[in-house]
Amino acid sequence: MAFPDVQLSKRPLHFIYLCDCSGSMQANGKMQALNQAIRQSLPGMAEVARQNPEAKVLVRAVSFAHQARWHVAEPTPVDQLQSSWVDLQAEGLTAMGEALRLVAGVLRTPPMEQRALPPVLVLISDGAPTDDFEDGLRTLMREPWAQKAVRLAIAVGHDADLDTLQQFIGAEPSSAAVPPVAMPPVAGLAAGGDRLPGEPVPRSGRRPLQASNATSLAQYIQWASTAVVGAASMPVSQVGIPSTAESNVPLPDLPPTVIGQVVW
Amino acid sequence: MSHWLPPLCCTRPGASHRRKGVVCQDASGWHCFQDRQGELVQVMAVADGHGGARYGRSDVGSWLACRTALNTARQLFQSQAIGAATPLSSRPTDAGPALSEPSPQQLLELQQDQGQQEQLQQDQWQQDQWQQWLGQELPQVIQRRWLRAVRRHWRVQPPADGREAFSPLLYGTTLGLVVMTPRWWGHTGLGDWDLLQLQASGSRLLSQENDPAAAGEATFSLCLNDAAAHCAPRTAIQRLDLETPAFALLLSTDGIRKSCSTDDDFFALGRYLSQAPLPQAVEPPVDLAASLDRISSQGSGDDVTVAIAHWRPEEAWHDLALVPSEQGPGGPRLQPRRPRSLDPKGQIQVAAPDHAVQGLPDEAAAASIAPSRPAPRSKPGPGPGRRPPRAIQVLIVAVLMGCLGVAALALFRLGPLGLAVSPQSPADQIPAEKVPAEQAPMSALRLERVRQQVRELCAGDGAIRSLLVQRRRSFTDLRWGWRQRQQLLDRLDLEPLEALIALSYDPASGALSDAPEFVGLQACPQLQLALARMWLESQGSAASAGLR
């Protein structure tokens, strides 16, 4: 009996940008910086995809202003996107809730594949939603694939509504999530390492990333498109821990903070 | 008696793991033994270590999970006849409705009805007992022993920098287990394994992880403190009798299913992988290793593991019995099943029956599988007093002989459990506890582990003598036959020094060995001298006095 005619497939990894294209993004070159950052990140993402051939990295993008619409509607292999990326244009309001509902529609199975890797959703915004964000988030989070997704948020400038972005990401674990293992670790060596009293809480992908200039925006987008895609491409099993908000895919370390001029 | 074929297990490192040099974190194995009543029982297990930095020893964890599960099942089965030995006094009774003065005919019918009803109730009660044992008692013992095993491993192989604290999380792994007896079979475990039942009438996905807490890439793990509780939802019992049509079971880690676009593809793959072998076949009908490699490389890239079992009742065996025999004019005849572990790469591994449980006296493995006494038929076959046809009797003997043949081969090649781990896995270096074969050759990987011990000893030469003296008992035990050489070799991973001691012994001369295995270790003169002295001393204090 010959090997059966079955469809073995690389596991698709859906990467979706949700880009704020409201009028405020025109200020101080934010829109231009975002387009530039996305363009610059695509070769790195393509390289990560080549290094992880078992994952099929497919990119889409949603823009939201007066209304949300697909900027890249078809799941597009990242290497094809490099030559076909069309710059986003800023105008109007911030229909973030509608954008979430739009994404919810494609995270259903079907069209989502049963065996897909956890999708990566990157929300980029410089302000606050002007529509019913709560409803959009509820709609999104009803989809199992949205619950499994790696959800990241990048705040462009200091006017971004961090609470909203944090809601999108989900509650940050109060401490490093330690599953209730059968034997507690030795005291003083908690998972995730110790932090001295007064030491600032380290930056985490489980919080909105604040980009205050074009360089840091590019850096964060690069991180999301390469390091996170790499981690999501070859996920390791995680111990199932009910009632913790740990990311479905262990997030890689963030890039070092760029000390630069605060422009936004 | 059993109509189960010996299982097949195969574990292959995933394509992406090979490419990135990541160790295989899957493990699998099977076990064949008799329970306390002499019933033939088979168990097969798969485990998938979580991988990643947080679970840095999960390859060892998965290997230990399989080994612990198989040994624990055997031990518990041999200490109690599950289900069959249910005490009559504790069986539920049903007096039934009181009827006044029934006619003889009514009385007869009533007795028949009551008998059937009691039988049904008794069967149901026994099934509940099995289910409870499989879903609660067995997992609790397995987890407890697994925790002990991983802690022991941590003690023996602490981290190089000594800063990391022990946590079972490091060894985190899933575990899927299928138990097959002549009258029932069942499954238990936790984590993202899948179990397919494949038969002529169709395929069914019997068990999968679908707890919302284990969404996405999350899975339940043996390292959780409530691990045993997560086994109950994955536990089920299925009754068997000779009317049960032939079927195959395919237990797999998640790498297989995640490589398939749809469940239909998964079912098709399952049917292909679980093709039943013909009795005359030397090679399995499917090159499992090659197939699994293909699945991983064209699919998820993850490690891939399957454990496959076949239930072949009367009809199926009768059909197989009609396959023309090579033995000529004697008519259709079944051949003894030959071992299936003939893959030259050693990827398909079938193990021998085994008594290898820690702390138990060594026993003759082969004796356990032989039908030393007739296996009681606690559940009648097709009809009262009906004996199985000769073809089945012959077949059963064939299966048992196959097990013995497999035993011999596996003892030679694999160790007592049919643990299939990737050849790239360091778990391969962790032996089973005991191998009855006295002179089983060691793999290159394991020899290298001993060589490493030799290098360490020779590098710190001042400590050689004191270290050996601490193991004086091992020398004495070996010399006087209180322990077997293979027992020490089997503890190589935990006690490499003891394995070295075992290799250094020549039972014929009672002195330092000059066998190639030991010579090849290239022990420094100081070590050779110290070992020779210990062997001399082991004869008695008088003989050793001259060396002091």
Per domain, the residue ranges of chain A are 20-172+205-229
User: Is residue B479 one of the residues assigned to a domain?
Assistant: yes
Asked if pLDDT for residue B416 goes beyond 70, the answer is: no
Question: Shortest Cα distance from B428 to chain A (angstroms)?
Answer: 21
CB–CB of B537/B501 below 8 Å? no
Q: How many CB pairs under 8 A join A and B?
A: 166
Of A3, A54, A239, the CB nearest to B301: A54
- Interface probe, candidates A239, A241, A251, chain B, greatest B C-beta count within 10 A: A239
Asked whether residue B92 is assigned to any structural domain, the reply reads: no
CB proximity A215 to B under 8 Å: no
Same domain, B481 and B530: yes
For the cut 70, the answer to whether the pLDDT of residue B7 exceeds it is yes
**Residue B93 domain-assigned?**
no
Find the range with the poorest average confidence among B34-43, B387-396, B441-450, B472-481.
Answer: B387-396
Å between A119 CA and nearest CA of chain B = 10
Closest Cα partner for B256 from B293, B286, B221?
B293
**Domain shared by B512 and B408, yes or no:** no
Give the helix ranges, DSSP H, for B460-540. Answer: 464-470, 472-479, 485-490, 496-503, 516-519, 525-537
What pLDDT score was predicted for residue A264? 79
Mean pLDDT of chain B: 72
Residue B94 domain-assigned? Answer: no
Same domain, B207 and B230: yes
Distance of alpha carbon A174 from alpha carbon B342, whole angstroms? 54
Determine how many CB atoms are found less than 10 A away from the CB of residue B242: 18
Preferred mutation among B62, B217, B274 to probe A, highest tally of A CBs within 10 A = B217
The answer, for B218 touching chain A at a CB cutoff of 8 Å, is yes
B221 assigned to some structural domain:
yes
The pLDDT value given to residue B430: 36
pLDDT tens track for B183-204 = 899 999 999 999 999 999 999 9
Per-residue confidence band for B452, with pLDDT thresholds at 50, 70 and 90 = confident
Mean pLDDT value across residues B400-425: 45
Last residue of one domain, picked from the residues B364, B396, B429 = B429
**Higher model confidence: residue B525 or residue B141?**
B141
**Cα–Cα distance, B82 to B98 (Å, whole number):** 34
Q: Which residues, including other chains, have CB under 8 Å from residue B69's CB and lie 6 or more apart?
A: B43, B45, B47, B142, B146, B175, B177
Cβ contact, residue pair A115, B50, below 8 Å:
no
Q: What is the DSSP string of A106-167?
A: HSSTTTS-TTPPPPEEEEEESS--SS-HHHHHHHHHTSHHHHHSEEEEEEESTTS-HHHHHH
Q: Is the pLDDT of residue B168 over 80?
A: yes
Two tokens, residue B171:
């060894």
**Phi and psi at residue B399, to the nearest 5°:** -65, -45
Instruction: Kindly identify which residue of chain B lies nearest to residue A245, measuring between CA atoms.
Output: B213
Q: Is the peptide bond before A110 cis (omega within 30 degrees of 0)?
A: yes
The number of distinct structural domains making up chain B is 2
Please check whether residue B253 touches A, CB under 8 A: no
Residue B100 lies in a domain: no
Could you tell me if residue B271 is left (phi over 0), alpha (psi between -120 and 50 degrees) or otherwise beta? alpha
User: Which chain A residue is nearest to residue B50, measuring alpha carbons?
Assistant: A237
Partners of A247 on chain B (C-beta within 8 Å) are: none
| B215 near A CB under 8 A | yes
C-alpha separations of B204 from A80, B46, B250, B286, B329 in Å: 40, 19, 10, 21, 42
Interface contact B168-A189, CB threshold 8 A:
no
Query: How far does B159 lie from chain A, in Å, by closest CA?
Result: 14
Q: B49 to chain A: nearest residue by CA?
A: A237
| pLDDT > 70: percent of chain B | 66
Question: Do A191 and B169 count as a contact with CB atoms less than 8 A apart?
Answer: yes
Tell me the pLDDT band of B1, cut-offs 50, 70 and 90.
Answer: low
Say if strands A68-77 and A120-125 run parallel, antiparallel, or are unpaired.
Answer: unpaired
Distances (CA, A) of A114 to A71, A144, B258, B271: 25, 11, 9, 20
Report how far residue B354's alpha carbon sits from residue B366's, in angstroms, rounded to the nearest whole number: 8
- Rounded CA separation B191/B199 (Å): 25
Q: Are residues B186 and B321 in the same domain?
A: yes
Q: Tell me the residue range of the domain where B248 lies.
A: 8-87+110-429
- Do B131 and B193 lie in one domain? The reply is yes
Furthest-apart CA atoms within chain A: distance in Å = 67
Asked if B215 and A248 come within 8 Å (Cβ–Cβ), the reply is: yes
- The answer to whether the CB of B472 falls within 8 A of the CB of B536 is no
**Boundary residue ending a domain (B405, B429, B453):** B429
pLDDT value of position B28? 93
Report the gap between the CA of B143 and the closest CA in chain A (Å): 9
Question: What average pLDDT does the segment B376-389 reach?
Answer: 35
- pLDDT at position B306: 95
Give the best residue of B143, B150, B169 to mutate against chain A (max A CB count within 10 A): B169
Contact B301 A115 (CB under 8 A): no
A44 in Cβ contact with A226 (< 8 Å)? yes
B284 touches chain A (CB under 8 A): no
What mean pLDDT do residues B11-40 have? 89
A117-121, A221-225, B302-306, B426-430: segment of lowest average pLDDT: B426-430
For the domain bounded by A20-172+205-229, which CATH number is listed? 3.40.50.410
Is A53 in Cβ contact with B217 (below 8 Å)? no
Query: Distances in Å between the alpha carbon of A158 and those of A34, A35, A161, A209, A213?
Result: 16, 19, 8, 11, 10
**Are both B362 and B460 inside the same structural domain?**
no
The answer to whether residues B419 and B456 belong to one domain is no
- Give residues 50 to 89 of B whose Cβ lies within 8 Å of A: 50-52, 54-55
B262 touches A at CB < 8 Å: yes
Which amino acid is located at B205 in the chain?
A: L
Cβ-based contacts of A239 with chain B (< 8 Å): 50, 169, 172, 218-221, 223-224
Sheet holding B194-199, edge to edge: B202-207, B194-199, B247-252, B304-311, B8-12, B348-349
Set of chain B residues whose Cβ sits within 8 Å of the Cβ of A144: 215
Q: Is residue B136 part of a domain?
A: yes
Q: For residue B477, give the 3-state DSSP assignment.
A: helix
Determine whether the interchain pair A8/B299 forms a contact, defined as Cβ–Cβ distance below 8 Å.
Answer: yes
Which among B55, B223, B224 has the least Cβ separation from residue A236? B55
Hey, which residues 104-143 in chain A have their CB within 8 Å of chain B?
113-115, 118
CA–CA separation, B197 and A161 (whole Å): 52
Predicted complex: ipTM over 0.90: no
Rounded to the nearest angstrom, the gap between the alpha carbon of residue B388 and the centroid of all alpha carbons in its chain is 29
Give yes or no for A3 touching B (CB within 8 A): yes
Is B228 in the A-facing interface, judged by CB distances under 8 Å?
A: no
Tokens 């797999």 found at: B252
Task: Compare CB distances from A239 to B48, B223, B285 and report the shortest one's residue.
Answer: B223
Interface residue B267 vs chain A (CB under 8 A): no
Let me know whether B470 and B330 are in one domain: no
Q: Give B114-164 pLDDT, tens digit per residue.
A: 777 777 777 777 788 888 999 999 999 999 999 999 999 998 888 887 788
**Per the CB < 8 Å rule, is B215 touching A147?**
yes
* Residue B413 contacts residue B352 (beta carbons within 8 Å): no
Q: Do B259 and A9 touch (CB under 8 A)?
A: yes
* Residues B486, B480 contacting (CB under 8 angstroms): no
DSSP 8-state code for residue A27: G
Measured CA to CA, the distance from residue B154 to residue B256 in angstroms comes to 31
The answer to whether residue B99 is domain-embedded is no
At residue B541, does pLDDT exceed 80?
no
Residue B257 or B415, more confident: B257
The number of angstroms, rounded, from the C-alpha of B217 to the middle of its chain's C-alpha atoms is: 27
- Whether residue B227 lies within 8 A of chain A, CB to CB, comes out as yes
Question: Token pair for residue A224?
Answer: 């999301």
Say whether both B348 and B386 belong to one domain.
Answer: yes
Cβ(B26)–Cβ(B422) under 8 Å? yes
Nearest to A101 by CA among A152, A140, A146, A151: A140
Helix (H, G, I), strand (E, B) or coil at A72: strand
Average pLDDT of the residues in B283-297:
88
With an 8 Å Cβ cutoff, are A191 and B286 in contact? no
- pLDDT tens sequence for chain A (264 residues): 789 999 898 899 999 999 999 999 999 999 999 999 999 999 999 999 998 888 999 999 999 999 999 999 999 999 999 889 999 999 999 999 999 999 999 999 889 988 889 999 999 999 999 999 999 999 999 998 999 899 999 999 989 999 999 999 987 655 444 556 554 333 222 233 333 334 344 456 678 999 999 999 999 999 999 988 888 887 666 676 544 445 567 777 777 665 567 777
Shortest alpha-carbon distance between residue B506 and chain A (Å)? 43
Residue B471 β-bridge partners = none
CA B8 – CA A145 distance, rounded (Å): 35
